[in-house]
Amino acid sequence: MKLHEFQAKELFSRYGIPTQRGIVIARPEDIDGLDVPYPVVVKAQVLVGGRGKAGGIKLAKTPAEAKQHAQAILGMSIKGEVVRRLLIAEAAEIQAEYYLAFTLDRQARQMVAIASASGGIDIEEVARTTPERIVKRHVDAFIGFQPFQSRELATGIGLRENHLTAFAGIAANLYRLAVQEEAELVEINPLAVADGKLLAVDAKVILDDSAAFRHPDRPPTEEETELERAARQADLSYVELDGDLAIIGNGAGLVMSTLDVVAQFGGRPANFLDVGGGATTENMAAAMEIALRKPGVRALYINIFGGITRCDDIARAIAVRPLRVPIAVRLTGTNEAEGRRLLEAAGIHAFLDAEEAAREAVRLAGEVVS
Ligand code: GDP
Ligand code: MN
């Protein structure tokens, strides 16, 4: 599980790694009356790197300026992730940027410390272009990360003598964090020299999910919507979108292609549910209930290609429901004849062709068919 920067920085503080003070907000208005000294840095909280390059990190000298940046960054999409929260932190006056991380070297079956003189740049890029600027030291799990290794890393990246003690402290704490929290990666990029002191300006932590049971206090993965939770409890995979046509299919590939075809006909999916292989009548009924609970849904498209899933089981769920919206059904495969008979008896026409059905679904949702 990847942590957001603000969550990773909370961990850093707990482990005595110096970071800037900051507050998380979700609306530009929240800037008013914030108790942070200016200038501040406005930072998009999304789980992807390269936020700075994408325009998701901006410095602001005044609250008015911070508000402008907040307006621009909130709602922005960075590598496909929509920004819903911002970290407003005291801006650091950066004199130099370094890189420091601990990660699991699976081949060596050891943690490895990685440091670089080129901070603020993607470490993969440094490895490609200037590998000589990267220093690595493996950590013996039984004796832990040693102070002499800190010194070797620090001198290897050309850190000034007066920062050595602080660097050793940060590295030791970062290693302790990685071990105690059971992380796969802990990364500070950049580890900056600001106001003459070392400071973690960015924080990245990836926790080992297989160890989650030992850490009941870990933050919740991602906030779930009510419908996402209902779907998870019913063992269905559900994704919420913002259109008005609900979509149910069986199998991830089929559902993905269904979304494409619907989009091609000008439809806007409201959500999609994958009932998976071998869905029963009950699974299907639960899926329909969840898909239609979303406000603003104007039609439902059910695309089933029966394999292990039996068309008659699916049809039973569709046929018994009085639905609040019109539906288009594509049904083919195992027990198709029986499935179609059940639907016809309930006055529902089932398409054989997925494209025709998609076109009909889009029409029902009141969209343009092109
Ligand atoms: P990333 O782009 O997602 O890795 O986000 P970072 O938090 O690492 O920020 C990217 C870059 O923005 C950093 O390498 C810095 O150069 C710059 N930056 C971030 N925070 C500050 C700050 O407080 N002060 C200054 N001067 N620059 C900052
Ligand atoms: Mn960074």
**What CA–CA distance (Å, rounded) separates 115 from 107?**
19
Atom of ligand 1 nearest to the CA of 54: 2
Atom of ligand 1 nearest to the CA of 5: 7
Residue 90 confidence (pLDDT) above 70 = yes
Beta strands (DSSP E) in 40-154 are 40-44, 57-60, 77-78, 81-82, 86-90, 94-105, 110-116, 134-139
Active-site residue set = 99, 187
**Beta carbons of 5 and 204 less than 8 angstroms apart:** yes
Percent of the chain with pLDDT over 90: 83
Cα distance from N-terminal residue to C-terminal residue, the chain: 42
Tell me what pLDDT residue 320 has. Answer: 83
Two structure tokens written together for 63: 């609250």
- Distance from chain centroid for Cα 234: 22
Tell me what pLDDT residue 159 has. Answer: 97
Nearest listed ligand to the Cα of residue 95: 1
Read off the pLDDT of residues 280-316 as tens digits, 9 standing for 90 and up. 999 999 999 999 998 889 999 999 999 999 999 999 9
Confidence tier at 277 by pLDDT (50, 70, 90): confident
If you average pLDDT over every residue of the chain, what do you get? Answer: 93
Residue nearest to atom 15 of ligand 1 (CA): 120
Instruction: Say how many Å lie between the CA of residue 189 and the centre of ligand 2.
Output: 4
> Of 282, 347, 358, 276, nearest to 316 (Cα)?
282
Instruction: Say how many Å lie between the CA of residue 94 and the centre of ligand 1.
Output: 9
pTM beyond 0.75: the answer is no
- Find the residues whose C-beta lies inside 6 A of ligand 1: 41, 49-52, 57, 59, 91-92, 94, 97, 120, 189-190, 201-202
Q: Which of 201, 204, 205, when mutated, tests ligand 1's pocket best, judged by the most ligand atoms within 8 Å of its CB?
A: 201
